[in-house]
Structure 1
Amino acid sequence: MPRDLLRNMAEEPEVRSPESLDDLLKAMRPEKGDLRVSVEDVLRRVGGRSFPAVILVPAIVLVSPVSGIPGTPTLAGMIVLLCAVQALVGKKHLWLPGFLRRRSVSAARMLRAVEWLRRPAGWMDRHSHNRLRLLVSGPAKPLAYAATALVAVSRPLLELLPFVTSFSAGAVAMVMFGLMTRDGAYALAGYAQGALVYLILLSIWFGIF
């Protein structure tokens, strides 16, 4: 069995799942001496059991200036899609192939992204509450992951449209943030954004734009 597969299947140390975007940004922040930050590094700090938190990482990265790196939207879309599908089928522990876990960005780029995201993340954390719980609990959870997967599938088509890519990533981030904080208002906003992304895609497809 390949070494990467064995490592992914091994039990990871228990990690406290992030409960806010501030917690998540701390996990994404490069450690002292890091030259690069890989997907593996972030997963190790976030843990593989909190699917909303793991999906939030590539989603908020695409909202930041890091989204300008060629290929990043497609890579992030692959991670989101794999995570969402595993959550849908009831996996308890996340698995990603080695070639995705090894992908990395420079520590300097990641630090700039974290700093850029800090202010909007703080605003979202301060304005999250337990509301509209029906949208983020019980049967609504699979719906959230299915919608996330649907948006992720469109990511390669948006590679040449940076603004729309970031907008679609924002939709995923809103839905997953709603699940993580049990705030259905954010999930509802994410669904609206996701619907708008597909409206834009359909408009382009039919030659309206």
Structure 2
Amino acid sequence: MTAPRPSPQADDVSHDITRLLRRLSDEGGDAGLTLDEVRDRLDERAYGLLILLLSIPCLVPGLYGVPQVVGVIVILLAAQMLVGREEPWLPRWFLKLRAKGSWLKAMADFAESKLGWIDRLSRPRLRRFADGPGEKLAAIFMILATATIVLPLTNTVPSVALALLSVGLIQRDGLFVIAGAAVTTAWLTILGAVGTGLLMGAEWATRWLPG
């Protein structure tokens, strides 16, 4: 007999990120949780937390391969946010994967030791930028930021933008969403300027070629 699926949690922003991860670790115990069970325990902030967890390995400068694979999943999640899907859809085989209890504990320990600043600085504010239409706008910036991750040696800055945007959605903090959107905009502007410069330089150089 299959155990009943837990009912979706209310959107309670009183649970900060470190407490949320610790709760997952405690509930998983030694056996851990399947990714489907993790998703069911993340309430309405599942999108934000999943994207935050995916963006962390992409912060490593010059990393190639992993950011490109992760980027596909992030775009899939962000696109679902954009169309208003309440619960993230991921392939069934992916959801059946199990996060070991030791991994969940290590993740919670890491959050408590390294990510405490997020909980200190973030809080519910400017919620119109982190909920409803603001959430959809954040999804657009996530897609734009992720699109640049596929470029070689350019994964760190857009991953910072993804982390800021996802924290904003998790904590319902519009200021973090605005910061993530600003980083994305600045990054796209820089890439556009560099690309334009290279094209103009190439065009200038061809004028001096013989024939």
TM-score with structure 2 setting the length: 0.68
Q: How far apart are residue 199 of structure 1 and its match?
A: 2.3
Aligned-partner SS, 1:155: coil
Stretch moving more, 18-27 or 89-98: 18-27
Query: What CA RMSD, in Å, does the superposition of the two structures yield over aligned residues?
Result: 3.8
What is the aligned partner in structure 1 of residue 122 from structure 2? 128
Does 1:199 find its partner at 2:193?
Answer: no
**TM-fit CA distance, 1:58:** 0.7
For residue 81 of structure 1, give the secondary structure of its aligned residue in structure 2: helix
Q: Where in structure 2 are the equivalents of 1:59-208 lying within 5 Å? A: 59-63=55-59, 70-98=64-92, 101=95, 118-157=112-151, 160-161=152-153, 164-207=154-197
Number of aligned residues: 191
- The residue aligned with 2:6 is 13
Moved more, 126-135 or 177-186: 126-135
Long gaps (5+) in structure 2: 199-211
User: What SS is found at the alignment partner of 2:89?
Assistant: coil
Higher-Rg structure is: 2
User: 2 CA distance for matches of 1:126 and 1:83?
Assistant: 27
For residue 50 of structure 1, what is the aligned residue in structure 2? Answer: 46
Quickly say closer, same or farther: Cα 1:39–1:48, change in 2 above 3 A: farther
Name the SS for the 2:86 alignment partner. coil
CA distance in 1, matches of 2:95, 2:106: 21
Q: 1:109 to 1:50 in 2, by over 3 A?
A: closer
**1:12 and 1:47 in contact (8 A); partners too:** no
Give the secondary structure class of the aligned counterpart of 2:166: helix
Residue aligning to 1:7? none
CA contact (8 A) 1:49 1:94 kept: no
Alpha-carbon distance change, 187 to 89 in structure 1, aligned in 2, over 3 angstroms: same
Q: Do the aligned partners of 1:61 and 1:113 also contact (CA within 8 Å) in 2?
A: no
Identity rate, percent: 27
Separation in 1, partners of 2:148, 2:97? 21
The verdict on how the C-alpha distance between 1:146 and 1:33 changes in structure 2, with shifts beyond 3 A counting, is same
1:83 Cα deviation after fit:
0.8
CA distance in 1, matches of 2:73, 2:100: 19
Question: Do the aligned partners of residues 71 and 107 (structure 1) sit closer, same or farther apart at CA in structure 2, a change above 3 Å counting?
Answer: farther
Using structure 1 for the length normalisation, give the TM-score.
0.69
Amino acid across the alignment from 2:76: L
